Amino acid sequence: MKRITIKEIAQQAQVSVGTVDRVLHNRGEVAAATRSKVLEIAKEGNYQVNVVARNLKLNKVYKLAIVIPQDNEYWKDQKKGMEKALDEYSSFGLKATFYTVNRQVHNGLSEAVDLALKKEPDGMVLAPLEKDNFGLLHALANKVPFVLIDASVQDVKPLATIAQNSFNAGVLAAKLLHFGWQNNRKAIILRTMGTDGLNKTIDERMEGFKSYYDNMGWDRSLVVEKLCAVEQGGMVKPCKLEANNLYFVPNSRANEYVSFFSNTDTYRMVGFDLTNSNHFQLKKDSIDFIIDQAPEEQGYLSIQCFYKYWISKVEIEPIHEMPLQIFTKENLQG
């Protein structure tokens, strides 16, 4: 359908574009009769703002602050998606600055946010990885519009939340781990010492995992948690893993545990995040399933939110639940 312009509206209504603009933007100072006449013609002619013209005129620069952890592979992919979007939208004046969160300290996120706020950004993208971020985010809400990625926070109203449902992810992991096998098999959750403890996503996945047993009427004592140490190099310290069992790795390190088995061992393992290492082990069939969070897409979407909010002024889905993407040897790409 053809779209009318304000110039055409002005002609038809016998007024100037200035008046049409005042009507369309409720800037007041317009006689009721004129107003309704303009609105009538606008509706008749299917008027929609020309996003291109508006943004050329406004020619604004929107400063975005992006607050994410230091680069592991997952966050590199997130960043990659963001940069792709930023590049695509660069003509619209979207500019971003990245701020790094130190995950080793308790208030790492808070510190990074404070630093970012000093530059007075127009918007913020951040990942609420730690627990108890309600206060921080509640305070933030009055200062700047923000988008949450990777995890959600209760009772906070961001522009949008882009994340997976970690609880459901845990449930899914349990299903995949047990699928087709007898039910009374022992399942072992492999946790990693250190940052895992601060990360609520891991907790939620484990809760979901265990809830599967409740729903199936199985005994929760079938599930055992094993906490593994980390060596100097950052890799998991070798330990003994029993064959014929089910292994659930609620973080992205499934690939590190694979080498602790001998070649003849049979086991089943489900992990998270399609990192290169996990990809490699999946391809070798050493990991059975990986549940991926599509980090690159998350990153892209987070920036797109602000494009929609500032530029195209389209409605934003407040909660974008990322699908629980299942990968196995046969549906890897590349």
Partner DNA sequence: GAATAAACCGTGTTCGTTAACGATAAGTTC
Partner DNA sequence: GAACTTATCGTTAACGAACACGGTTTATTC
CA distances from 8 to 29, 45, 49, 103, 320 (A): 21, 9, 13, 56, 39
Q: Which is nearer to a second copy, 36 or 215 (CB)?
A: 215
Nearest Cα residue to 128 out of 119, 115, 137, 139: 137
111 binds DNA (CB under 7 A): no
CB of 64 to DNA, least distance (A): 19
31 binds DNA (CB under 7 A): yes
CA distances from 109 to 131, 133, 139, 147, 150 (A): 11, 9, 14, 14, 14
String of contacts with DNA for each residue 134-173, x by CB under 7 A: ----------------------------------------
d(CA 240, CA 201): 26
Q: Which is nearer to DNA, 91 or 183 (CB)?
A: 91
Nearest Cα residue to 267 out of 292, 290, 291, 285: 285
Query: Considering CB distances under 5 to 8 angstroms, the limit depending on partner class, which of DNA, a second copy, none binds residue 264?
Result: none
**Cβ(249)–Cβ(216) below 8 Å:** no
Q: Scan residues 47-66 and list those touching DNA (CB under 7 A).
A: 47, 49-50, 53-54, 56-59
Query: Considering CB distances under 5 to 8 angstroms, the limit depending on partner class, which of a second copy, DNA, none binds residue 312?
Result: a second copy
Find residue 63's DSSP bridge partners: 95
1 binds DNA (CB under 7 A): no
CB of 109 to a second copy, least distance (A): 27
Q: Which is nearer to a second copy, 53 or 229 (CB)?
A: 53
Query: Considering CB distances under 5 to 8 angstroms, the limit depending on partner class, which of a second copy, DNA, none binds residue 33?
Result: DNA
Q: Which is nearer to DNA, 16 or 97 (CB)?
A: 16
Residue 86: CB atoms within 10 A of its CB come to: 20
* Interface ranges with DNA (CB under 7 A): 5-7, 14-19, 21-22, 24-25, 27, 29-35, 47, 49-50, 53-54, 56-59
